[in-house]
Amino acid sequence: MKNTISVLAIFSALFGGSAFAADLPARTAPVVAFVPPPSFSWTGPYIGLNIGGGWIDRNHNNNNNWGWGWNNNNGNNSGGVVGGAQLGWNYQLSPLFVVGLETDIQGTSIGSGGGNNNWWGWGDFNRVRVPWFGTVRGRVGLALLDSRLLIYGTGGFAYGEVNRPTIGWWGNNGNDVRSGWTAGGGVEWAFLPNWSAKVEYLYTELNDNANNNNNWLLLAPIVQPGIVGIGGLTWNRRTQISTVRAGVNYHFNLFNPAPVVARY
């Protein structure tokens, strides 16, 4: 009898423990909720390359030889290839507004031949070439389509080398690094988290360091049969360039927040 009671007690304890264990919550893996990353942000530094074409809008020469009655206003255009690199920094003020600063350096084959109204073979006074130029510009833009499309305007300081021939033995125009200004705009598309492509137009004006050059010819040689005279030569020159470029940028995105993973 005692043995029977002991066996029943053991079975009761076993079944009771199983029932209690069945009432406990099951041990399962934690539920992980993935919170999608924020929309693309333009904030951060970037570096890139570009290539395109350019042309001299107007080789702005007002050459006047008083006393000889010669006047030359050259409007020849000549295009070439433009290519280089850019470095910049953007800051996204809000989901809509982006500001930034960019500098670039360009090598070019832009050059023009003058030849308009050159007087009696004294040379091509108006030929100009721009082997290279650079800019330092601010950028202000609107970010659209989940911030991945940036439409911007840009403008600032420009500098570059302008090659002109020396005019005879009394001229003072040669190769010189000149400064000026630039303005334009573009569209940039972030096609990957760290990569964007852009198309940009820039108008650049480089001024002569001595904007109004006066060259005096005290006693002219015989350049036209029967004419020897006294005269002066003055001109006002600005080299005005338009460029259209396509480029690609790599964005470092140093300050963009990482995706958030929440656990429950």
How many of the other CB atoms lie within 10 Å of CB of 77? 12
pLDDT more than 90, % of the chain: 45
DSSP the chain: -HHHHHHHHHHHHHHHHHHHHHHSPP--PPPEEEEPPPPP---EEEEEEEEEEEEEEEEEEEEEEETTTEEEEE----EEEEEEEEEEEEEE-SSSEEEEEEEEEEEEEEEE---TT--TT---TT-EEEEEEEEEEEEEEEEETTTTEEEEEEEEEEEEEEE----TTT----EEEEEEEEEEEEEEEEEETTEEEEEEEEEEEEEEEEEEEEEEESS----BTTB---EEEEEEEEEEEEEEEEEEEEE--TTPPPPEEEE-
Decide if pLDDT at 40 tops 60. Answer: yes
What gap in Å lies between CA 59 and CA 113, rounded to an integer?
10
Cα–Cα distances (Å) from 122 to 98, 125, 167, 260, in that order, read 53, 8, 8, 74
Q: Answer yes or no: are the C-beta atoms of 141 and 88 closer than 8 Å.
A: no
* Lookup: tokens for 131: 């082997």
pLDDT band at 175 (very low <50, low <70, confident <90, very high): confident
The fold of the 32-263 domain, in CATH, is Porin (2.40.160)
Q: What mean pLDDT comes out for the span 150-176?
A: 79
What was the pLDDT predicted at 185? 97
For 42-95, how does the pLDDT look when each residue is reduced to its tens digit (9 = 90+)?
A: 999 999 999 999 999 764 544 544 444 444 444 556 889 999 999 999 999 999
What was the pLDDT predicted at 64? 47
Q: Answer yes or no: are the C-beta atoms of 246 and 52 closer than 8 Å.
A: yes
Q: What mean pLDDT comes out for the span 23-34?
A: 56
Tell me which residue of 155, 175, 180 sits closest to 238, measured CA to CA.
180
Decide if pLDDT at 242 tops 50. Answer: yes
Domain boundaries, the chain: 32-263
For 179-201, how does the pLDDT look when each residue is reduced to its tens digit (9 = 90+)?
A: 999 999 999 999 998 999 999 99
What gap in Å lies between CA 83 and CA 200, rounded to an integer?
12
What was the pLDDT predicted at 210? 52
CA angle 190, 196, 202 (to 5 degrees): 115
For 84-143, how does the pLDDT look when each residue is reduced to its tens digit (9 = 90+)?
A: 999 999 999 999 999 999 999 999 999 865 544 444 444 455 578 999 999 999 999 999
What gap in Å lies between CA 243 and CA 260, rounded to an integer?
43
Tell me which residue of 211, 202, 213, 210 sits closest to 240, measured CA to CA.
202
- Range among 17-26, 143-152, 219-228 rated most confident: 143-152
pLDDT band at 235 (very low <50, low <70, confident <90, very high): low
What was the pLDDT predicted at 73? 44
What is the residue-averaged pLDDT of the chain? Answer: 74
More confident residue, 260 or 238: 238
What was the pLDDT predicted at 71? 45
Query: Of the ranges 110-119, 171-180, 249-258, which one carries the lowest mean pLDDT score?
Result: 110-119
pLDDT band at 238 (very low <50, low <70, confident <90, very high): confident
Q: Cα-Cα-Cα-Cα dihedral of 161, 167, 172, 178, to 10°?
A: -20
Q: Answer yes or no: are the C-beta atoms of 234 and 73 closer than 8 Å.
A: no
What gap in Å lies between CA 236 and CA 238, rounded to an integer?
7
pTM comes to: 0.69
What was the pLDDT predicted at 230? 46
